[in-house]
């Protein structure tokens, strides 16, 4: 039986990816920081290994014992990636690292942008994302050190996760803000646009990259895009507030959420096209974001009872 080591298994992406690997016949070991979550992790078919991203020796050992390593825990933790690469160097085994499409985002105010990026579009990232882009490059260049490496770069992820963490970050954050205000909420005018992808389609991409990708590949993951004002309207309708939306001033959003989630996230633009993923044969099949909010999993989980 092939062995997989996954970081971030108590999280939204990692839990869903690890469960898929277990279903596909892998013996999966998952890095778990909280011993209290170990039993719940084990119930999903994943063997927990207690530790954190700063445990370099542990990461290197567990990577060396695996046939496949998937990092979903932290896109910005360079020492963890260096440890995983050290454990895999010269083995020809697979390393898949999870980035995020904020690497092409702007410092947003809620205004729109015409800039759209493919996997191969040159880009100079904003200062806050330079280190993340450098980590992505480190992973891809590990292909020259005898590692079958790849970077998957998700956009705004939505849908119900299949691990122990069911919910993503951005959409539930907007739902909570709408519940507090009695209307859909967007930062600034809400003309900014993010590409998005359903968690189940994203998990399919991990499986496909594992099966078919050439070493050193980079894969945006998206299946459509939406303006944040449209997301706000869908959330408002789902909650029973109708089409009315309210503007969340950027300064107040930053005070409540922080710069990363507000100006670099929900107020920014991140528009990409998954050209490499589709060339590999990826075919997203799930409902789109607005449909899932108004009539799918979000209505089931957050809508009026």
Measured CA distances, 284 to 36, 196, 222, 224, 240 (Å) = 35, 11, 9, 10, 29
107 CB contacts (<8 Å, ≥6 apart)? 126, 128, 263, 264, 268
Distance, in Å, from the CA atom of 81 to the CA atom of 194, rounded to the nearest integer, reads: 27
269 CB contacts (<8 Å, ≥6 apart)? 105, 106, 108, 112, 113, 115, 192, 193, 194
CB of 111 within 8 A of CB of 130?
A: no
Place of tokens 């009872």: 305
pLDDT of residue 304: 86
pLDDT of residue 111: 97
**Tens-level pLDDT at each residue, the chain (305 residues):** 899 999 999 999 999 999 999 999 999 999 999 999 999 999 999 999 999 999 999 999 999 999 999 999 999 999 999 999 999 999 999 999 999 999 999 999 999 999 999 999 999 999 999 999 999 999 999 999 999 999 999 999 999 999 999 999 999 999 999 999 999 999 999 999 999 999 999 999 999 999 999 999 999 999 999 999 999 999 999 999 999 999 999 999 999 999 999 999 999 999 999 999 999 999 999 999 999 999 999 999 999 87
Neighbours of 242 (CB within 10 A): 11
pLDDT of residue 305: 75
Q: Which long-range contacts (CB under 8 A, 24 or more apart) does 284-287 make?
A: 284/197, 284/198, 284/201, 284/204, 284/223, 285/200, 285/201, 285/204, 286/159, 286/198, 286/200, 286/201, 286/223, 287/198
Residues forming beta bridges with residue 185, ordered by sequence position = 246
Neighbours of 59 (CB within 10 A): 29
- Tokens describing residue 146: 């005898």
Measured CA distances, 133 to 100, 103, 112, 219, 265 (Å) = 10, 7, 23, 13, 16
206 CB contacts (<8 Å, ≥6 apart)? 17, 20, 70, 96, 152
């Amino acid at each position: 039986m092939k062995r997989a080591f996954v970081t971030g298994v108590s999280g939204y992406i990692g839990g869903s990816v690890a469960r898929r690997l277990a279903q596909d016949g892998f013996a999966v070991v998952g890095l778990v920081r909280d011993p209290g979550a170990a039993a719940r992790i084990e119930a999903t078919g994943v063997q927990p290994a207690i530790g954190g991203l700063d445990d370099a020796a542990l990461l290197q050992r567990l990577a060396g014992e695996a046939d496949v390593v998937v990092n979903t825990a932290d896109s910005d933790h360079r020492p963890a990636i260096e440890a995983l690469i050290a454990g895999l160097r010269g083995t020809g085994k697979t390393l898949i690292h999870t980035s995020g499409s904020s690497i092409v985002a702007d410092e947003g105010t809620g205004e729109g942008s015409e800039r759209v990026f493919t996997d191969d579009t040159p880009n100079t990232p904003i200062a806050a994302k330079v280190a993340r882009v450098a980590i992505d490059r480190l992973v891809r260049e590990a292909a020259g050190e005898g590692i079958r490496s790849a970077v998957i770069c998700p956009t705004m992820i939505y849908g119900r996760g299949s691990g122990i963490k069911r919910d993503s970050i951005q959409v539930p954050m907007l739902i909570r803000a709408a519940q507090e205000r009695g209307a859909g909420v967007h930062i600034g005018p809400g003309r900014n646009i993010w590409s998005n992808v359903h968690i189940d389609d994203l998990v399919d991409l991990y499986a496909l990259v594992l099966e078919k990708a050439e070493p050193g590949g980079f894969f945006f993951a998206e299946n459509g895009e939406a303006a944040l004002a449209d997301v706000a309207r869908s959330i408002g309708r789902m909650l029973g507030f109708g089409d009315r939306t309210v503007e969340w001033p950027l300064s107040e959003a930053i005070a409540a959420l922080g710069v990363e989630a507000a100006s670099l996230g929900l107020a920014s633009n991140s528009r990409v096209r998954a050209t490499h993923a589709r060339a590999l044969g990826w075919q997203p099949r799930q409902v789109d974001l607005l449909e899932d909010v108004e009539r799918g999993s979000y209505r089931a989980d957050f809508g009026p009872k």
